[in-house]
Structure 1
């Protein structure tokens, strides 16, 4: 039972995410449309650098995660052949409707199961990185918003754009221009909040399944690995699987924490700008915006559980508690 339980829970996690993508594909498409909208578009070279850096990080993350899945799946495919060559009993993690004692039935069944596991691993990895990328992009948009507030009054006063027209400098045009920039920044922040909440809502059930089963997956994996020979191929493959599972939960908690921390610094960026050069009336608007941004954007699981590194530590503690309970039994 232990041999199949952790694979079963991982499969359920993958299915839950796939259902969220398929059933709510139109809402996922809305998120992509927002990403490609003018609201999230870069406005200067510094914005482009920030967005390119985020895209580069996400690309490297996907490649590393795919490589890890390939290594884990490859080891998973190799160790049954090694165990069979050493004369040890080999048990499949799925139902095989024919006798696998002799060749070539054993090889056919093992190759079939290995292909399924590798394909599932690739699908799971891709789904994870896609969901994480939404939260990472929300964090990056917060960075752009912070940059805009820190450079709020830095603009070319020789050519101020008011009502889509280039006008000469005067106090009235400057006031209109700053007001337009402020309104756009408020709309930008509102759109970022909506984007993060919408991503949280789309994958809400999938995240509940993911985090609620993670303790069992980690616990079952550790429970199995402690009974294996440390020099066996099966130990190496299960250890690689355990590393992938730990990294999977860590990614969600890490980027959830990054988004919360980044949004918590918006007020600091507003205060860091040259607000003393603004009129008292405009300062009041900035003060209202600071009050509006007091509460950070913190993704949650099941509405109440924060997607944070503290939650990650709690999952590890819960897994250890379950493991000690099973060992005593």
Structure 2
């Protein structure tokens, strides 16, 4: 069972990586459309506060990618340390994959070890990069809704300021700003829907397999010496898998929470003294925003913190069953 767990969590990581790579290859055109859509004028307001929020999103996304990918590379690097230490102590090294080669000769052992490091690192970087990409799009949608909420709350004040500067009709100015907010909301909604249509199935596969990966890794972890390098590497691996699942659930949950506040932002606008057309427009937006964005994996599993907890509980259940069958 220990050998099986060692093989399975690596195999399952390869499967999730391939599932996402297939989508990136087959849906490349729609992904390009989604990325180009982020440059749309509706998603890039001219206000300084909006630009600061967008810059903060880009900065945090960059740090997320570097830290996440760095943790994966460090884990794979540690995985080549303990085979070397095991061989140096005179014991036989058994790799978790079939090669058909005799690894006793130093040259063959070195080549197989380097091959193992190359493949695992490549899969680690691929997984972390694709996960960070999806999380960044979700984070971008959340930031866009935050900007929209800010614009809706101040739409009456912005209307009156513009009327003072231009002398235009107040209702005409309001409708122009309101249409901009409506287009902004539609664009965010389209981006979130396109992301779900493209990556819904791979994320669902990730959730389904992620629990088994955690289960197998935990089963392997409890059999290791706490002060060993292998224990450290396995702990980092589990941390990477937890981060992988948490990213989708956290940013999906943040998008839903921010979307739920749009109707409240429209209500918070100082509409009491505004005209009938202004109040009617805000009311229509509030009715439309009553159904918040709820990104889901395969239209089945919601991207939420509650889903993350369910995956953790399921993983522990699988682990407990395996321990009882030992």
> If the length of structure 1 is used for normalisation, what is the TM-score?
0.94
Where do 1:283-294 residues align within 5 Å?
283-294=279-290
Determine the C-alpha separation between the residues in 2 that align with 1:277 and 1:229: 71
Q: What secondary structure, in the 3-state scheme, does the structure 1 residue paired with 2:265 have?
A: helix
Residue in structure 1 matching 2:64, options 57, 61, 64: 61
In structure 1, the partner of 2:270 is: 274
CA shift for structure 1 position 158? 7.1
Q: RMSD of the TM alignment (CA)?
A: 1.6
Determine the C-alpha separation between the residues in 1 that align with 2:266 and 2:172: 19
In structure 1, the partner of 2:115 is: 112
CA contact (8 A) 1:257 1:309 kept: yes
In structure 2, the partner of 1:75 is: 78
Please identify, of 36-45 and 215-224, the stretch whose mean Cα deviation from structure 2 is larger: 36-45
CA shift for structure 1 position 157? 5.2
CA contact (8 A) 1:157 1:169 kept: no
In structure 2, the partner of 1:298 is: 294
In structure 2, the partner of 1:233 is: 229
CA shift for structure 1 position 104? 1.8
Determine the C-alpha separation between the residues in 2 that align with 1:168 and 1:270: 24
In structure 1, the partner of 2:38 is: 35
Determine the C-alpha separation between the residues in 1 that align with 2:179 and 2:160: 19
Q: What secondary structure, in the 3-state scheme, does the structure 2 residue paired with 1:276 have?
A: coil
Determine the C-alpha separation between the residues in 2 that align with 1:7 and 1:53: 35
Where do 1:241-260 residues align within 5 Å?
241-260=237-256
Which string of whole-angstrom CA distances, capped at 9 and with x for unpartnered residues, describes residues 175-225 of structure 1? 111111112211211121111011011012211210100110000000111
In structure 1, the partner of 2:19 is: 16
Gaps of 5+ in 1: 162-166
Which string of whole-angstrom CA distances, capped at 9 and with x for unpartnered residues, describes residues 84-125 of structure 1? 223333221222131002212111111111111112111111
Q: What secondary structure, in the 3-state scheme, does the structure 2 residue paired with 1:277 have?
A: coil
CA contact (8 A) 1:73 1:117 kept: yes
* Residues 275 and 104 of structure 1: CA distance in aligned 2, closer, same or farther (over 3 Å): same
Determine the C-alpha separation between the residues in 2 that align with 1:59 and 1:32: 16
Number of aligned residue pairs: 322
Q: What secondary structure, in the 3-state scheme, does the structure 2 residue paired with 1:94 have?
A: coil
In structure 2, the partner of 1:164 is: none
CA contact (8 A) 2:171 2:278 kept: no
Q: What secondary structure, in the 3-state scheme, does the structure 2 residue paired with 1:155 have?
A: helix
Q: Are positions 1:326 and 2:316 aligned together?
A: no
CA contact (8 A) 1:250 1:312 kept: yes
Gaps of 5+ in 2: none
Residue in structure 1 matching 2:125, options 113, 122, 126: 122
Q: What secondary structure, in the 3-state scheme, does the structure 2 residue paired with 1:296 have?
A: coil
Please identify, of 226-235 and 204-213, the stretch whose mean Cα deviation from structure 2 is larger: 226-235
Determine the C-alpha separation between the residues in 1 that align with 2:69 and 2:148: 32
Q: What secondary structure, in the 3-state scheme, does the structure 2 residue paired with 1:297 have?
A: coil
Which string of whole-angstrom CA distances, capped at 9 and with x for unpartnered residues, describes residues 54-90 of structure 1? 1111011111112111211111121111122233332
Determine the C-alpha separation between the residues in 2 that align with 1:160 and 1:105: 78
Determine the C-alpha separation between the residues in 1 that align with 2:229 and 2:223: 13
In structure 2, the partner of 1:191 is: 187
Determine the C-alpha separation between the residues in 2 that align with 1:146 and 1:229: 52
Residue in structure 2 matching 1:44, options 40, 44, 47: 47
CA contact (8 A) 1:79 1:237 kept: no
